[in-house]
Amino acid sequence: MFKGSGVALITPFDENNNVNYDVLSKLIDFQIENDTDAIIICGTTGESSTLSLEEKKEVIKFTVEKTKKRIPVIAGTGSNSTSDAIYISKYAQSVGADGLLLVTPYYNKCTQDGLYLHYEAIAKNVNIPIILYNVPSRTGVNIETETLTKLSKIDNIVGIKEASSNISQIASIFSKVRNDFLVYSGNDDQILPILSLGGAGIISVLANIFPKDTHKICENFFEGNIDEARKLQLKYFDVIKGLFCEVNPIPVKEALNYLGYNVGKCRLPLCDMKKENKEYLLKNIENIKDIL
């Protein structure tokens, strides 16, 4: 799949709340020009929960065509409906996506057996690589290590984006899964800890605004420059805190608009940031800009 920093790209909207493809095009070029290692489209940060099925299809197809194989495109095709996830996953494969990111089913709160059957069914219907996405704080479902170990034996399930924040659980994953199974940090404040356990990189919100340095955290670690990687991880601590002081992607869209990218607002029910949170976020972005 990829090694390093994959950006969990936002979906820009225009003043009428429609997908803004002109801005999306510019964002894709900006990411590639600043060393991002992969683009993850239509994920949580891309507001997949409020994109219609047709919008998802259009955004995935546009991103694949715009990227032109310069870096991998991984399509967020997860759903709490297995049949819907199969449908959009097959579509993403048909238009040239390099891989899939599949969040755990949400709200249904399936059992671990149901979780296995859900992912197994999707994997049987596509041939491209699958990255599972574990974010129990948002979905209410945790992929237990035993379940993941079973899933990792399915040929095209190649990795996991781990956003449980549970370092002990993540360590247990490394001790159980096959050596070539990829584990990506799903939290920007845990890039280095997960890399130190054997992680392959990060699927990042921070990379939307600081792609080059997010890439460099990983690059420095892989090249053995651990102290430089540590300095960069800590350099962005307060920015990362600001990016998650309200529900993602509210703050990162605020940051991008502040930096002049005109990505529009989030769709309801996500709303504008509270004044004090916005001030905290923008102050810390300015602090970073001053030392770049």
Identify the CA nearest to 40 among candidates 103, 126, 84: 103
Q: What are phi and psi of 46, to 5 degrees?
A: -85, 10
* 150 is annotated as an active-site residue: no
Cβ atoms of 41 and 77 within 8 Å: the answer is no
Cis status, amide bond into 269, omega within 30 of 0: yes
What lies within 8 Å, CB to CB, of 150 at 6+ separation is 116
Rounded Cα–Cα distance for residues 138 and 140 (Å)? 6
DSSP codes joined into one string, 26-59 = HHHHHHHHTT--EEEESSTTTTGGGS-HHHHHHH
* 161 is annotated as an active-site residue: yes
Cis status, amide bond into 193, omega within 30 of 0: no
CA angle, 185 then 39 then 75, to 5°: 90
Catalytic residue among 56, 66, 161, 253: 161
Catalytic residue among 91, 116, 119, 133: 133
Cβ atoms of 80 and 63 within 8 Å: the answer is no
Question: 187: which DSSP letter?
Answer: S
Q: Which amino acid is at 156?
A: N
Active site residues: 133, 161
